[in-house]
Amino acid sequence: MGQYVAPLRDMQFVMHELLHVEDELKQLPKHAEIDADIINQILEEGGKFTSQVLFPINHSGDREGCHHDKEHNTVTTPKGFKEAYKQYVEAGWPALSCVPEFGGQGLPLVMNNSFYEMMNSANQAWTMYPGLSHGAYECLLEHGTPEQKSVYLPKLVSGEWTGTMCLTESHCGTDLGMLRSKAEPQSDGSYLITGSKIFISAGEHDMADNILHLVLARLPDAPQGSKGISLFLVPKFLPNADGTLGARNPITCGAIEEKMGIHGNSTCQMNLDGAQGWIIGGPHKGLNAMFVFMNAARLGVGMQGLGLTEVAYQNALVYAKDRIQMRSLSGIKAPDKAADPIIVHPDVRRMLLTAKAYAEGGRAFCTYVALQIDKELNHPDEVVRKHAADEVALLTPIVKAFITDNAWIATSECMQVYGGHGYISEWGMEQYVRDARINMIYEGTNTIQSLDLLGRKVLMDNGVKLKKFGAKVQAFIEQNGTDEALSEFITPLADLGDKVTKLTMEIGMKSFQNQDEAGAAAVPYLRLVGHLVYAYFFAQMAKIALEKQDSGDTFYVSKLATVRFYFARLLPETAMLIRQARAGSATLMALDADLF
């Protein structure tokens, strides 16, 4: 079904020409030996694995789904999933960016990030299994005890065991302070955990020997609300002292959720009936530890949106060049055919360019954020680490929400390119739309991300983090503002930066009087700042493309055309977003709930 070819040329452009990743990594002692050749080699091998192993089982995996054996509480993944995972493990992919201390290859996250884009393009449902495992690895690496790390991290790093995060319960979603799962302390230092969790991606499957569940629950003396939550490591099989698998722990799959999309991933209802677990991060500090996992997952979901945008674009482009329908309004373009290819039609081009722009903007943005994480974790200068951490905190909700919103737009447009065939499952396009829709919901809905950005990341620190990022934008504007060739990009970028600053101050003042004002403005505000970020990166890409457009490499001609489309057709959305954000809460809150 369809095709997927890793966009290596654009990845290399972002890595080497836009962000100068090799030079940045030389500032990090841990990664100073990484050069462009190593980066390109990893990307090329990743492209082969994803296109040749993962993509061919994406459509079939969606059609088949996972199967739950209720009698034995087991789950079977679609045909080919288990075999693909074995190849993934044997090739060493799970260890790519993990620390050598526990068997990892120690490569920078920025490279792992690009590999995950490829995997998500090729097969999002499959990629969720190792993706969640990597989140569990990061959580244990930061908050696990030495014993927990020595027992569990080598297995996660190798891919022999996988991981999940068990947060949600049927009566509470995002409001985790309401959860009811209980943990009873035992004399040996472990805990017996009882409760039920829902929406647990990869909660039960046949791809790995063991599954490590990170479970939120309450101790008997826990205070009410989110301050009373603890985090526990609950393995499916209890490991013996020698590392072999021991007794089966009573944490089981009660059912698989029937979902709109990502059918190849087992989204489970998990029941804990006195399952043995060990605390991570200390009593009542579960959310602090789990946020490592949750933030990694939010960045990962952004990559899911980017991956789907890219693969949908690739297939819609092939279709648009091949499908003939009607004649061009400006005259016949294919006289040897009964009709012209639909790519000659202006609105088909609008749809394709929308997806192309959102893919290329998202790729630059995600790669930049991954590079900042590498600097946050490894730069020798504490000031640089702090600055990078602030940027990651500010940009994470935008990665999650803006990119997945755009993926929903882009996949829908790409399905539209196919006309009636887009709605038919055999062409594969409608799967991308279905899969894209979940990404706006899980790991904190995009409204939650918007509230996080405006409330916590901007207003709570009086805009300090936003001003730091804004200073980078302003520096670029000042350095290039006199370049006439760049004025078509610099002028709107500068204008938007000023408007974001003024709007932020306005919302802050209104929210000081009435906090509903922040709630009313949050969603358009996040999209507005998302466009500011994209405009900043697109303006930088335009500068490079302008300098090289006459080089004979048509890549730069295409890049410049995409940038111009973005500024002309997509960035104007910001005018509407500003009006929405300024509209306030009155029209939303005036109507009594009983009158709806």
In this predicted model, which residue has the larger pLDDT, 175 or 140? 140
Q: In one letter, which amino acid is 355?
A: A
Region of residue 179 (left: phi > 0; alpha: psi -120 to 50; beta: else): beta
In angstroms, rounded to a whole number, what is the distance separating the alpha carbons of residues 295 and 466?
A: 19
Helix residue spans in 452-589 (DSSP H) = 464-480, 487-513, 516-548, 554-565, 573-582, 586-589
Task: Kindly tell me the sign of the dihedral angle through the C-alpha atoms of 41, 44, 47, 53.
Answer: negative
Q: What is the pLDDT of residues 254-268, one digit of tens each?
A: 999 999 999 999 999
For the purposes of burial, counting CB atoms within 10 Å of the CB of 375, is it exposed (0-12), middle (13-18) or buried (19 or more)?
A: buried
CA–CA dist 357, 129 (Å, integer): 29
288 — pLDDT class (breaks 50, 70, 90): confident
| pLDDT for residue 55 | 98
pLDDT at 469: 98
- Count other C-beta atoms under 10 Å from residue 497's C-beta: 17
Tens of pLDDT along 425-482?
999 999 999 999 999 999 999 999 999 999 999 999 999 999 999 999 999 999 999 9
> Residue 177's pLDDT is what?
74
Reduce the DSSP state of residue 97 to 3 states and report it: coil
Give the 3-state DSSP-derived string for 208-264, with helices as H, strands as E and coil as C.
CCEEEEEEEEECCCCCCCHHHCEEEEEECEEECCCCCEEEECCEEEEEECCCCCCCC
Joined tokens for residue 285:
């500090």
Structure-block tokens of residue 440: 């706006």
* Tokens describing residue 495: 């204008």
Contacts of 460 (CB under 8 A, 6+ apart): none
pLDDT of residue 432: 98
Query: Could you list the active site residues?
Result: 443
* Residue 269 phi, psi dihedral angles, 5° rounding: -95, 115
Banded model confidence at residue 113, pLDDT cuts 50, 70, 90? very high
Q: Which of 229, 298, 569 is nearest to 413 (CA)?
A: 569
Tens of pLDDT along 46-89? 999 999 999 999 999 999 999 999 999 899 999 999 999 999 99
pLDDT at 530 over 90: yes
Write the single-letter amino acid at 372.
Q
b/e per residue, 565-590, with b = 16+ CB within 10 A?
A: bbbeebbeebeebbebbbebbeeeee
E strand or H helix at 406 = helix 382-417
- The three-class DSSP label of residue 163 is strand
- Looking at the DSSP bridge assignments, the partners of residue 214 are 165, 233
Task: Inform me whether the pLDDT recorded for 175 exceeds 90.
Answer: no
Exposed / middle / buried, residue 155 (Cβ in 10 Å: 0-12, 13-18, 19+):
buried
Nearest to 263, CA basis, from 375, 91, 449, 123:
123
| pLDDT-based confidence at residue 243 (cuts at 50, 70, 90) | confident
Would you call 179 helix, strand, or coil by DSSP?
A: coil
Contact between residue 99 and residue 141 where contact means Cβ atoms under 8 Å apart: yes
Is the pLDDT at 157 greater than 90? The verdict is yes
282/555 Cα distance (integer angstroms)? 52
pLDDT digits (tens, 9 = 90+) for 548-580: 999 999 999 999 999 999 999 999 999 999 999
- Per-residue pLDDT of 369-396, as tens digits, reads 999 999 999 999 999 999 999 999 999 9
Is 514 exposed, middle or buried, given 0-12, 13-18 or 19+ CB atoms closer than 10 A?
middle
Class of residue 316 by CB neighbours under 10 A (exposed 0-12, middle 13-18, buried 19+): buried
